Structure 1
Amino acid sequence: MEATVSDERPAPEGPATFHDVFGQAEFRALFAATALSWIGDYIAKAAVTLLVYRQTESVALSAAAFAASYLPWLLGGPVLAAVAERHRYRQVMVTCDLLRMALMLLVALPGVPPWAVLVLLFLTTLANPPSQAARSAVIPQLLHGDRLVVGLSVISSAGQASQVLGYLIGAAIAAFSPPAALLVNAATFAASAALVHFGLRNRQSAMTAAHRSHLLRETAQGFQIVFGQPVLRAVAVLVFSAMLFSIVPEGLAAAWATERSGGTLSSGSAQAVIMAANPVGYIVGGLVVGRLVGPARRLALMRPLAVLAPLMLVPALFDPPPVVVALLAAACGFAVAGVVPTANGLFVRALPDGYRARAFGVMASGTQIIQGAAVLVTGLLAERFAVPAVVGVWSAVGVVLMLAAALTWPRQETVDAAVAAASRADSADPEGHRPHVPPRPAGDRARRRHAVT
């Protein structure tokens, strides 16, 4: 995307519409492909965990099958995302979809031992970081200005809906035949590959062979530009902080529902309501804020909503019933949806095109690690303290963290300068031939006094 300073400043004509976004044929193809692959992923998670449990009757191995999808991000997500920068984005997405399709077909074969299922599942998920990084880098090439923010909101909301729908479909099909669910997943990858191949232009790669260096060096440049540029660093802190607390009700839902069982809801129903509440709130918030709130107001609301999101969970201290917990989690999800797409829109606008896939790898890996760590730490705390107390205090700390992030947000001139610098870099090098050192905004020395430190 060739962003300009005026792209980031509030648009006087109001927000972009869904028609504006879906009127772009390439975005329609990418959206459909993304939704299909996500639904397939969650169908496979539900099916594989049941398949492994039926074969081994081991809860630990079943959980390992579920957790395998997170390992690539933890072990080498930024490196795998950097690979996507070296090749045409359409080629990366199609290749990853076809590889995942073939591997899922192998998992669905009868008689595959559990250890082989885990290995094949891990190999399948290795394709996630480069595929998602390529998709993240393509979206700003398709949508510009406020259309980008609305498009990101739609994609994020679709991800939450895909999670709910995929789990429901996967559990229903797997109850009769886990291999059948895996075949459905393979079919979604095939359809996704076809949509991307025929629906997207085959644009040049962001980094040509002549401008490559060592892969690890290129990966390090992703970290350098995210945490070395004040605006990108501020966005990363805001997004990571949101992930740190918003996942906790979902992660502790099983224990929370068990402790509060015996009311109007069974423990199983209470767990389902709590787990689904945050995604549902996010879907509603993403659509409402992204579509009905204008660009100027959206930017102004981003920091207040960031503080409001953890604040919504603080009343958990009073040990409310599961229905109220679900409402609190939904309100938190709604507020987070008002923060993340807007922050992501600014993030991609402040990035030169040749660094977007790598920067996405850094952000996605950080998000996965932070969410896993938050659930792990709060789970350990819940072994010694009551779940409502853990969630309430954890969220109160989140309020303090978000206040700090909001108060140290860069000044508008720093934001404008970062977006302008990225735009100049793209204009000066339209073919994506980037220098090996990430560019800083012009006059950076003077602006550092106003930047986040």
Structure 2
Amino acid sequence: MSAGDPAGGDGRPSFRAVFAVDEFRPLFGTFTLSTIGDELARVALTVLVYQRTDSPLLAAFTFALSFLPWAVGGPVLATLADRFPRHRVLITSDVLRAGLVALMAVPGTPLAVLVALLFAVSLCAPPFESARSALMADVLEGERYAVATSLTNVSLQLAQVIGFVAAGALVTAFSPSVVLLLDAATFAVSALWLAVGLQRRPAPVESSGEPSSVWREAGEGLRLIGGSPRLLAIIALLWTGTLFANAAEGIAAPLTDDLGEGAVALGVLLAANPMGVTIGGLVVARLLGTARSERLLPALVVLSLAPVLLAGLVALAAGPGRGAYVLVVGLLFVAGLGASWTIPLNVAFVQAVPPAMRGRAFGVAVSGLYGVQGLGALGAGLAAEGVPAAAVVAIAGGVGLVAVVPCLLALVRSRPGVAGRHRAAGPSVP
């Protein structure tokens, strides 16, 4: 892209300028498509398990299972994005996921086999997401990358909204097998689109002249982050804020049941937070800019957690009823508006990481991100076995507000120096 690309009145690149980058379109489109399919499968399996077992813990375990492979092997699997051509990692991951999800759709599959296949599908996510994130930074520069990151985050949330709402309706109207077949189809289309739309690049490894291994490269990603106060502050805030802001997702089924609503209402409740992030992300992308949005980041973090506390208190005090349900959904939507703080944090992270290390660094960051989401959902499910789901939601919001304070202080202290000695070797956001 040239300097004459269309830009907004503030000099920032327009959405059209970002979409004009040929390789961004398949990266963006396949990410959106696969996310919709993922949410269809996640809700279908969660509802199926809750219907069969009536256990909040088992339902939360099923919801969390797709996140846990990141915590178990994410940093190691993510090194594949730096060891092999990134386009090949993306396509292979999608082909494997299409086949595995198609097996899950076979009618009559035992619950234990479904859970095992879901875990196998989830093992493909770390190399895919690390390769996609690193390739995005390869094909876009400066403020174009910032705008593209905002668009991708908005796409993620909007895809979750569509997936959650559609899943609630489809699970009510059809069998889980139909929903799983739709998920398999999204991965197959994604693999084909990526094969046609991406350039062939060599593996982006640094040539040190010494043989390497995935374990060594995973360790390099951990050391990169551990040696930088800036990166440590970013990671701490990302993981801590996400842990408490999203814990309620794991007990959405029992919470909706306690409020007297059904499967369609469950989809809407799950969609409320991502819809808020969609709106907030658009504001961050086009109106605030990266510098201003980072200054507002502490306020946005508080806004992402305080409504979660209020939603739990409202549900606990009001009990079953449509009015309480609507108010809870509204509060979760407001929390989503605040959760757009992840967008400027993502840009700050990219600024601090050398291009050849991005796969490993993204792998560590996203592994922890998905890991805490899974652990948060499991913790919420375990707590909901003994206390009302609404009380668990309130506790998550309240404890989260306290837990993010030291993370925010560390981030503010690290702001003048970007990542210390690990300054980005490639293009960065001004």
Secondary structure of the structure 1 residue equivalent to 2:70: helix
- 1:303–1:115 distance in 2 versus 1, CA, 3 Å: closer
Q: Please name the residue that 2:334 is paired with.
A: 331
For 2:387 and 2:136, locate their aligned partners in 1 and report how far apart those are by CA, in whole Å.
44
Query: What is the CA deviation profile of residues 243-270 of structure 1, one whole-angstrom value per residue up to 9, with x for unaligned ones?
Result: 0221134334444444444xxxx46676
**Which of 94, 103, 109 is matched with 2:100 structurally?**
103
* Larger mean Cα displacement after TM superposition, 96-105 or 63-72: 63-72
Alignment match of 1:360 (pick from 359, 362, 365): 362
Return the offset for 1:85.
Answer: 1.4
The question of whether the paired residues in 1 share the 8 Å contact of 2:229 and 2:419 is answered with no
- Tell me the distance in 1 between the aligned counterparts of 2:390 and 2:61: 27
Distance apart, 1:335 and its partner CA: 0.8
Deviations along 1:58-105, one digit per CA (max 9) or x if unpaired, are 567887665542342232111111122100100100111112222333
Alpha-carbon shift at residue 159 of structure 1 (Å): 1.7
Moved more, 317-326 or 379-388: 379-388
Measured after TM superposition, the shift of residue 136 of structure 1 is 1.0
**Structure-1 residue corresponding to 2:299:** 304
Aligned residues: 407
Q: Does 1:285 align with 2:287?
A: no
Whole-Å separation in 2 of the counterparts to 1:63 and 1:164: 19
2:155 is the alignment partner of 1:158 = yes
What SS does the corresponding residue of 2:203 show, helix, strand or coil?
coil
Residue 288 (structure 1) shift? 1.6
Aligned match of 2:235: 236
RMSD of aligned residue pairs (Cα, Å): 3.2
- Residue 86 (structure 1) aligned to one of 83, 86, 95: 83
User: How far off its partner does 1:43 sit?
Assistant: 2.8
CA contact (8 A) 2:249 2:270 kept: yes
Alpha-carbon distance in 1 for matches of 2:271, 2:195: 33
Paired amino acid for 1:329: L
CA deviation string 1:388-442 (max 9, x = no partner):
55444442332233332222223443127567x222xx59xxxxxxxxxxxxxxx
Classify 1:91/1:164 alpha carbon distance in 2 versus 1 (closer, same or farther; 3 Å). Answer: same
Matches of 1:96 and 1:125 in 2, distance apart? 10
2:181 maps to 183
In structure 2, runs of 5+ residues without a counterpart are 1-7, 319-323
Matches within 5 A, 1:357-436: 357-382=359-384, 387-409=389-411, 410-415=413-418, 421-423=423-425, 426=426
Query: Which of 184, 194, 211 matches 1:196?
Result: 194
CA, structure 1 residues 84+62, in 2 after alignment: closer, same or farther (shift >3 Å)?
same
| 1:196-238 per-position Cα deviation (integer Å, ceiling 9, x unaligned) | 1221111221216755423212112222212321111111011
Q: Deviations over 1:24-59 (max 9, x none)?
A: 1211111111112222222333455677899xx556
Q: Secondary structure at 2:418's aligned position in 1?
A: helix
Q: Which residue of structure 2 aligns with residue 70 of structure 1? A: 67
What TM-score does the superposition give when structure 1 sets the normalisation length? Answer: 0.79
Q: Is the 8 A contact 1:40 1:184 kept in 2?
A: yes
CA shift at 1:296, angstroms?
2.9
Q: State the alpha-carbon separation in 1 of the partners of residues 140 and 36 from structure 2.
A: 24
Q: What residue number does 2:135 align with?
A: 138
Cα distance, 1:387 vs structure 2:
5.0
1:33–1:276 CA distance, 2 compared to 1 (3 A): closer
Q: Distance in 1 between matches of 2:356 and 2:275?
A: 34
Q: 1:59 to 1:126 in 2, by over 3 A?
A: farther
Alignment of 1:343 with 2:345, yes or no, is yes
The separation in 2 between residues aligned to 1:172 and 1:257, in whole angstroms, is 15
- CA 1:185–1:133: 2 relative to 1, 3 Å: same
CA distance in 2, matches of 1:347, 1:417: 12
Give me the identity figure in percent.
Answer: 38
- How big is the shift at 1:124? 2.5
Please give the alpha-carbon distance, in whole angstroms, between the structure 2 residues aligned to 1:422 and 1:144: 12
CA–CA distance in structure 2, aligned partners of residues 20 and 418 of structure 1? 33
Q: AA paired with 1:414?
A: G
Q: Any stretches of 5+ residues in structure 1 without a counterpart?
A: 1-10, 428-453
Distance 1:268 1:311 in 2: 26
Alpha-carbon offset, residue 347 of structure 1: 0.5
CA displacement 1:93-133 (0-9 Å, x = unmatched): 01111122223333344665555444433332221111111
Partner of residue 124, structure 2: 127
